[in-house]
């Protein structure tokens, strides 16, 4: 590893770690952080609850390791994010190792770089959900199984099976399907049908099954043994059936109630931003590899690799058939996508007939990234007064440096890599240090939750009044903030979170109070131009107040 590699690795690590300081965002990440805190406080690791309510959605592994981290480091941003970050690093390492099994050192390093610098990867390291751990487990299992098929060393197979088991404890059967998709296509195209029938697969079933026993028992004990429980509005709900079937396959069959009408192109549309700065090369790489397979009459030699191409396509199709999709669902396929892209770029860099396309694509990306720089500079200067003038000035300086080095670097492959890596690292540096913190000033849950904890207010004495507050308040206050919708039930000495409009209910003749804190609330994950424009922001925000009843 040379000096440039260390510089890139250090810059990436710095940006990731700065992201640890960002307040956890509602909805999903804050909910999972709150549930992990709740699990730690209750000491019940087999039954999962969300603010005291029976929870049946995600498997428990994220909650287990986050609760363990909080036990060691306390209830804070760092403790919640650290375990997932370690799995993110595992995903990068596994992507490198998997690529190195089939390709050159340069291609392997480029694969790891592409994954580590994709926009979705930056996002998942501070907006932590189950997908970060899932990606690490799945990438690790694919690497270990590929190593086993090459070396026949059983410990690789055991570790690969463990990776699948941990992935299933994180997000369900998808952790088994993604590796299977890749190897199925790989062996099919190799005409290696013997690989489909190996006695070791029985061992894999036993290892995975053993790892799933604690979680399965918890589901059975919490739900299957109590069919009278009302879960998601239904009785007779089987936790085991939900986990092993309904949550994943039920979204395709229609059995699951989740349906947001997402079509087959939804995930690709979102990859246009989440796989920046590499998305155009990935699309070209996908077409190029499919074309090569067709020209080879759907057959590859024994040393070639189709795990990534087949794995990504089948993973995408299986997720794309779901009637409920979110942008981060495709993140599990990013290690595949990174290797596919790296192989294509390596071909582009070292084949003379590709020089024209390399020059054209480099100049095209310079135009695209210049536009991104303009957007960042505007976001740093205009929407938020809380952002110091230092940041827009620094962004202009770094943008000018990008232009300088772009002109100075003569080799087009180095020019392209520099352009992509420099831009995406710089943009996320400004997002993590300035833009996200400014946005989070409008997240009531984290702001009020921190206020409660800082002022040593007992969360049991804090209530909302006809006002909705998201999960982050539970995490940052380290307690349960409950609702009171009846004015008569509010007692002296209690703290109330309510909208500015509802303050009129607390007239001196009914309830005397002191205003402790006021602010504005907005769902920051649903940004709009009305919110970003300071002149129209008040039209889309909600004013709130924290009061103490005398």
- Averaged pLDDT, 233-258: 73
Which helix (H) or strand (E) covers residue 475, if one does? helix 472-477
Task: Give the Cα separation of 495 and 457 in Å (integer).
Answer: 9
Beta bridge partners of 231: 234
* pLDDT over threshold 90, residue 57: no
- Alpha-carbon distance of 321 to 396, in angstroms, equals 44
Q: Which tokens in the block code for residue 259?
A: 């349906």
Residue pointed to by tokens 């999903």: 28
Q: Is the pLDDT of residue 1 over 80?
A: no
Distance linking the first and last C-alpha atoms of the chain: 65
The H-or-E segment that residue 516 falls in is strand 513-521
Percent of the chain with pLDDT over 70: 97
Whether residue 50 contacts residue 38, with contact meaning beta carbons closer than 8 Å, is answered with yes
Question: Quick one: which of 315, 331, 277 has its CA closest to 127?
Answer: 331
Closest CA to 435 of 361, 359, 383, 472: 383
Mean pLDDT of 5-19: 93
Q: What is the pLDDT of residue 509?
A: 60
At 241, list the tokens: 């059936």
Angle between helix 307-320 and 174-190 (nearest 10)? 130
Secondary structure, 3-state, 365-397: HHHHHHHHHHHHHHHHHCCCCCCCCHHHHHHHH
The pLDDT of residue 71? 96
Let me know: does 19 contact 457? Beta carbons within 8 Å: no
Tokens 């396959």 correspond to 249
Helix (H) or strand (E) holding 28: helix 28-42
- Is residue 234 very low, low, confident or very high in pLDDT (cuts 50, 70, 90)? confident
CB atoms within 10 A of CB 121: 25
pLDDT > 90 in the chain, percent: 64
Return left, alpha or beta for 48; rule: phi > 0 is left, psi -120 to 50 is alpha, else beta: beta
Q: What are phi and psi of 355, to 5 degrees?
A: -60, -45
Residue 513: which pLDDT band, with cuts at 50, 70 and 90? confident
Report how many helices (DSSP H) and strands (DSSP E) the chain contains, helices first: 23, 7
Helix (H, G, I), strand (E, B) or coil at 231: strand
DSSP 23: P
DSSP state at residue 465: E
pLDDT at 352: 61
Cβ partners under 8 Å of residue 448, min gap 6? 469, 473, 476, 477, 497, 517, 519, 544, 546
State residue 251's pLDDT score.
63
Q: What letters, b where the CB count within 10 A reaches 16 and e where it falls short, cover 497-533?
A: bbbeebbeebeeeebebeebeebbbbbbeeeeeebbe
Q: Lowest-confidence range among 25-34, 91-100, 173-182, 258-267? A: 258-267
**Helix or strand run (H / E) with residue 89:** helix 77-102
Query: Which two three-digit tokens encode residue 478?
Result: 């380290």
Taking only the tens place, the pLDDT of each residue in 367-376 is 999 999 999 9
Judge whether 432 and 452 are in contact, CB under 8 Å.
no
Cα(76)–Cα(476) distance, integer angstroms: 8
CA-based nearest residue to 15, from 92, 125, 129:
125
Q: Which of 211-220, 447-456, 495-504 has the lowest mean pLDDT?
A: 495-504
Give the lowest-confidence range in 2-6, 116-120, 520-524. 2-6
Tokens of 475: 């995490």
Which helix (H) or strand (E) segment is 314 a member of? helix 307-320
347 neighbors 339 (Cβ within 8 angstroms): no
What single-letter DSSP state applies at residue 52? T
Q: Is 288 exposed, middle or buried (0-12, 13-18, 19+ CB in 10 A)?
A: middle
Is residue 237's pLDDT more than 60? yes
User: 231 and 222 in contact (C-beta within 8 Å)?
Assistant: no
Phi, psi of 490 (to 5 degrees): -85, 130
Closest CA to 305 of 190, 176, 175: 190
Please report the pLDDT score of residue 501 as a whole number. Answer: 85
CB-based burial label for 40 (10 Å; 0-12, 13-18, 19+): buried
Q: What number of other Cβ atoms are within 10 A of residue 461's Cβ?
A: 15
- Residue spans of the domains in the chain: they are 3-254+266-350, 352-441, 443-549
Distance CA 34, CA 45 (A): 14
Model confidence at 514, in pLDDT bands (50, 70, 90)?
Answer: confident
Q: Find out whether 384 and 532 touch, Cβ atoms under 8 Å.
A: no
Whether pTM > 0.75 for this model: the answer is yes
Cα–Cα distance for residue pair 75/211, rounded to 1 Å: 27
Task: Please give the average per-residue pLDDT across 463-490, as a whole number.
Answer: 87
Over the stretch 122-177, which tens digit does the pLDDT of each residue have? 999 999 999 999 999 999 999 999 999 999 999 999 999 999 999 999 998 999 99
Query: Confidence band (pLDDT; 50, 70, 90) for 90?
Result: very high
Residue 53, beta-bridge partner list: 50
């Amino acid at each position: 590893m040379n000096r440039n590699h260390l510089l890139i690795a250090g810059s990436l690590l710095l940006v990731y770690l700065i992201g640890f300081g960002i307040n956890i965002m509602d909805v999903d990440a804050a909910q999972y952080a709150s549930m992990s805190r709740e699990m730690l406080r209750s000491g019940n690791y087999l039954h999962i609850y969300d603010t005291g309510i029976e929870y049946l959605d995600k498997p428990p592994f994220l909650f287990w390791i986050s609760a363990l981290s909080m036990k060691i480091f306390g209830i804070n941003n760092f403790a919640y994010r650290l375990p997932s970050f370690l799995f993110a690093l595992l995903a990068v390492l596994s992507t490198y190792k998997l690529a190195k099994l089939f390709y050159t050192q340069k291609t392997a390093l480029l694969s790891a770089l592409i994954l580590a610098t994709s926009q979705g990867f930056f996002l998942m390291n501070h907006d932590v959900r189950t997908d970060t751990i899932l990606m690490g487990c799945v990438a690790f299992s694919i690497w270990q199984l590929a190593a086993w098929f090459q070396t026949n060393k059983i410990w690789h197979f055991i570790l690969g099976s463990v990776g699948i088991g941990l992935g299933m404890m994180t997000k369900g059967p998808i952790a088994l399907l993604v590796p299977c998709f890749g190897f199925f296509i790989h062996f099919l195209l190799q005409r290696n049908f013997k690989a489909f029938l190996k006695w070791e697969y029985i061992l894999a079933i036993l290892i995975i099954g053993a790892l799933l026993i604690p979680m399965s028992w918890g589901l059975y004990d919490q739900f299957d043994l109590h069919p009278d429980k009302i879960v998601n509005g239904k009785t007779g709900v089987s936790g085991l059936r939900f986990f092993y079937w309904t949550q994943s396959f039920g979204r395709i069959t229609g059995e699951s109630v989740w349906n947001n009408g997402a079509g087959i192109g939804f995930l690709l549309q979102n990859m246009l931003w989440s796989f920046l700065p590499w998305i155009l090369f990935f699309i070209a790489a996908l077409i190029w590899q499919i074309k090569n397979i067709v020209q080879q009459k759907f057959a590859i030699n024994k040393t070639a690799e189709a795990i990534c191409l087949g794995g990504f396509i089948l993973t995408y199709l299986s997720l794309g058939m779901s009637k409920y999709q979110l942008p981060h669902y495709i993140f599990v396929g990013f290690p595949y996508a990174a290797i596919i892209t790296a192989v294509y770029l390596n071909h582009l860099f070292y084949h003379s007939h590709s020089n024209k396309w390399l020059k054209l694509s480099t100049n095209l990306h310079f135009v695209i990234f210049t536009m991104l720089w303009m957007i960042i500079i505007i976001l740093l200067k205009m929407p938020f007064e809380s952002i110091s003038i230092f940041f827009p000035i620094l962004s202009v300086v770094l943008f000018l440096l990008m232009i300088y080095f772009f002109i100075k670097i003569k080799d087009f492959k180095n020019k392209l890599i520099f352009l992509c890596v420099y831009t995406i690292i710089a943009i996320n540096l400004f997002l993590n240090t300035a833009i996200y913190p400014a946005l989070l000033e409008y997240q009531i849950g984290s702001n009020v939750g921190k206020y409660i904890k800082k002022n040593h207010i007992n969360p049991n004495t804090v209530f909302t009044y006809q006002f909705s507050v998201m999960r982050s308040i539970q995490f940052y206050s380290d307690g349960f903030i409950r609702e009171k919708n009846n004015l008569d039930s509010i007692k002296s000495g209690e703290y109330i979170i309510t909208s500015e409009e509802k303050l009129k209910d607390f007239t001196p003749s009914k309830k005397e109070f002191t205003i402790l804190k006021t602010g504005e609330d907005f769902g920051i994950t649903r940004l709009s131009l009305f919110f970003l424009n300071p002149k129209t922001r008040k039209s889309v925000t909600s004013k709130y107040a924290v009061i103490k009843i005398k």
